[in-house]
A and B are shown apart, each in its own frame.
Chain A
């Protein structure tokens, strides 16, 4: 079982001449095989929290470790490449590429040595409900739900222990939201750790652990 441990993490933003604290003395642990939902009002610090534990941003105080090794030691880029994958509300797909190509580029970035990358990408996409025809279209021609599934497929190719998502269902209708939640739950069953920042009560209801952030602190 892999573990991300957050110890006494505080984080600040420079607001003009003032230093504004967005997170204060956060202590929390995330394990694989569990579905975490981080809730909070806008500006509460939940996205900052996700940026720090996903390695998109560097923490200023305290320590974040992956299996007892600090993220700084691992290196942010290396950490993002090997241990976590992030899914964004706006999917963050490369617009001029097809769904398959978006998945394949992740394999290229991770230097994964699959004999047939296209076949492997299609297998993942098919498992998330994207058929071959849809997979061959450029992502701009896909619906929001399809794009989000392509983004999830991309995060699954590397078989990283943690999948993190920022408002993954924010732009989706209820049916599609349910499908995405179902995919997350399946991933958890397969031993992945899923951490989702959300406003959605439905996502929170399906999570194993719900963390409420208020005023930069976990309540």
Chain B
């Protein structure tokens, strides 16, 4: 049977060449799409592992609104009482330091960010005054500044300065000095304007008073610059201090055994896949999470934005793979059926000589499998040449489509792109044909051959040698 298959392949040169070229195209496409698919999967995996997923513990504002609606506010004697009630509710429903301390012990948490505000006032330095600004760049519509936030000192505490949102999204940049971390006790980072007003530099000290009039000496570790266009909302008198330093500013009531209110609490997880596990674990640790209207939200936007292009490439390569497989099955079936018509006489002769039908089916499959094996080997080289180019082409076309969608008709191009620039989107995939991909090609390829030989095989099994040979006679 193998001898006949071999002879048929090498003697029927034209048909063999045509079939071989077809199989080479098919196997190159199959291997390329498999490689692209696996490469995008790998890139997404790398991206996934490189990004710590953020889970934010915050107030569930929609639930809070509902609870306000449900209460009979009319019964409250005046507006002040209503405001006090709202303040109490907000306080009770805010994330607390004690919550963070419980949740940060989870094995899924690799880092945590929390910040809060403390009340303090300047003691040995002056605040930067926008009224004295000769450029008048902070004036509001040419008139006096309403509710100017720069009239008092703002003190924001954060456990690690580098995790500060404004620093991460480059709203502020360090003009000199460096960021503080959790261990930098009494360190402070002040604004460039505050430093200039008081002729301060890194290493100098400033003194602030807490609400109990207690003085705290802080060493300037860094000076920041507001990099955004300065405006009404820009805070020049804001200083950042270490969280543990800030705790010493609190009164006993404010500290409340570590249950003080946080402005925000974000947990960075080791793997996005563990997000839901972390949330369920957290609900077991803080059992009154829902009663307190607190919510844990997963932020996978960064991961999704980073991988959006290659996710589409992965989807498109799957579609191409499916189309190629279906087309291959149909075309190989037709080629084999057509070849069977040509070789009907040979079929009749072999059956007439007493050959078993199953062996004839095996011969036909062996012939195509022999050619397929050679084409698979050649496809390893050809797909190495085209897969990277194919992937680049798909990614480029995906990005063009996305750009059009982001900008929309009539939208300014600059604005559209700006929305995407905060994230480093993966714009290329390094496609390498791996041993695993080759393995898949052989499995898929032989699968295609077996499936495409089903119809011709049924035809062979139903053949009658006498009918075939008598037609020939």
Residues of A within 8 A of B (CB): 47, 51, 56-57, 77-78, 80-82, 85-86, 88-90, 92-97, 101, 104-106, 108-110, 138, 154, 166
Contacts and interface: CB of A to CB of B under 8 A. Distances in A.
Contacts of B4: 94, 105, 108
B76 interface: no
B462 to A, nearest CB: 15
B350 A80 contact: no
B465 A56 contact: yes
B352 A86 contact: yes
Main secondary structure of the interface of B (DSSP, over half): helix
B81 to A, nearest CB: 102
A172 to B, nearest CB: 15
B465 A96 contact: no
A51 to B, nearest CB: 5
Contacts of A90: 472-473
A81 B359 CA distance: 14
A80 B354 contact: yes
Interface string B55-82: 0000000000000000000000000000
Contact of A94 (B346, B356, B466, B472): B346
Contacts of A82: 354
A108 B354 contact: no
16 contacts: A47-B473, A80-B352, A80-B353, A81-B353, A81-B354, A88-B473, A90-B472, A92-B348, A92-B469, A94-B346, A94-B349, A96-B11, A97-B11, A105-B3, A109-B350, A154-B353
Interface in B75-102: none
Nearest to B348: A92
Contact of B349 (A47, A78, A92): A92
A193 to B, nearest CB: 18
A166 B355 CA distance: 20
Contacts of B11: 96-97, 138
A44 to B, nearest CB: 15
B7 interface: yes
B1 interface: yes
B12 A56 contact: no
Interface in B340-362: 345-346, 348-350, 352-356
Contacts of A106: 353
A96 B10 CA distance: 9
B408 to A, nearest CB: 63
A184 to B, nearest CB: 19
Nearest to A84: B354
A173 B437 CA distance: 62
Contacts of A94: 4, 346, 349-350
Contacts of B346: 94-95
Interface string B353-387: 11110000000000000000000000000000000
Nearest to B12: A96
Given A94-B350, A105-B4, 7 more contacts: A77-B354, A88-B473, A90-B472, A90-B473, A94-B346, A108-B4, A109-B353
Given A56-B465, A56-B469, A96-B7, A110 B354 contact: yes
A51 B466 contact: yes
B8 interface: yes
B406 to A, nearest CB: 61
A92 B352 contact: yes
B356 A101 contact: no
A99 B348 CA distance: 18
Given A96-B12, A105-B3, A166 B473 contact: yes
Contacts of A51: 466
B352 A108 contact: no
Across the A-B interface, the 10 shortest Cβ-Cβ residue pairs: A81-B354, A96-B11, A80-B354, A56-B466, A92-B349, A57-B466, A109-B355, A77-B354, A109-B353, A51-B466
Contact of A89 (B1, B12, B348, B473): B473
A210 B135 CA distance: 130
Contact of A97 (B7, B345, B470): B7
Given A104-B3, A166-B473, A96 B354 contact: no
Interface in B86-120: none
Name which of B11, B348, B350, B356 has the most chain A CB atoms within 10 A of its CB: B11
A89 B473 CA distance: 7
A96 B6 CA distance: 11
A96 B346 CA distance: 10
A179 to B, nearest CB: 22
A57 B470 CA distance: 11
B354 A78 contact: yes
Contacts of A88: 352, 469, 473
A110 B359 CA distance: 12
A93 B349 contact: yes
B17 to A, nearest CB: 15
A136 to B, nearest CB: 13
Contacts of B7: 96-97, 101
Q: Among the interface residues B345, B349, B470, which one has the most CB atoms of the partner chain A within 10 A?
A: B349
Contacts of A166: 473
Contacts of B356: 77
Given A77-B356, A90-B473, A105-B3, A96 B8 contact: yes
Contacts of A81: 353-354
